[in-house]
Structure 1
Amino acid sequence: MRLTLPLAAALMMPLPLMAQDRPPADGTPLSQMLAVLEQEANFGHFEDIDWDDDGYYEVEYYTSDGDEVKVRLDPVTGAAR
């Protein structure tokens, strides 16, 4: 079987560059990252929390004033992107 160059290159791509179906094992616990967001002065409630296969958490929450906030959290550092 003969592979074309683009297909062969895609098969040899390192895992971090490919879609990630789950957070990394060495990542920061999601509960710890959410606890930091909850400490915001006017935090209200979480609306939606999802893992994106591009390699980050998508978090949507509302402030106590009713403003919608959307952030992407790095699964290793917990930093917002």
Structure 2
Amino acid sequence: MRTMLAAILLTATSVGAFAAAPEGAKLSEIIAKIEQTADVQYIDEVDWNDRGYYEIEYFMKNGA
């Protein structure tokens, strides 16, 4: 029982670490702002960093 309670507690606290901050911008809002830029060709990859921010990789129409 004690081991199960510890496992549940660790799982519950670690899940919160992967959630975005409540005062932060939603991913859909960030993507929309990037897509509104005229020079963006496409968004290639989006990852959630362990430090609490999104890493977004996109390509420009000029190849950059």
The TM-score by the shorter chain falls in which range?
A: 0.5 to 0.7
Q: What's the CA shift string for 1:21-56, capped at 9, x where partnerless? A: 221234321111111111112110011101101011
Q: CA RMSD in A?
A: 1.3
Q: Which ranges of 4 or more aligned residues in structure 1 deviate by more than 2 Å? A: none
Sequence identity, in percent?
Answer: 35
1:64 CA drift (Å):
1.2
TM-score for both structures, normalised by structure 1: 0.53
Q: Is 2:47 the counterpart of 1:31?
A: no
Matches of 1:59 and 1:26, distance apart in 2? 19
Matches of 1:64 and 1:45, distance apart in 2? 8
Unaligned runs of 5+ in 1: 1-19, 68-81
Unaligned runs of 5+ in 2: 1-16
More strand by share: 1
2:48 counterpart residue number: 51
Query: 1:21 is matched by which residue type in structure 2?
Result: F
Question: How many residues are aligned here?
Answer: 48
Asked whether the equivalents of residues 22 and 53 of structure 1 are also in contact (C-alpha less than 8 Å), the reply is: no
More helix by share: 2
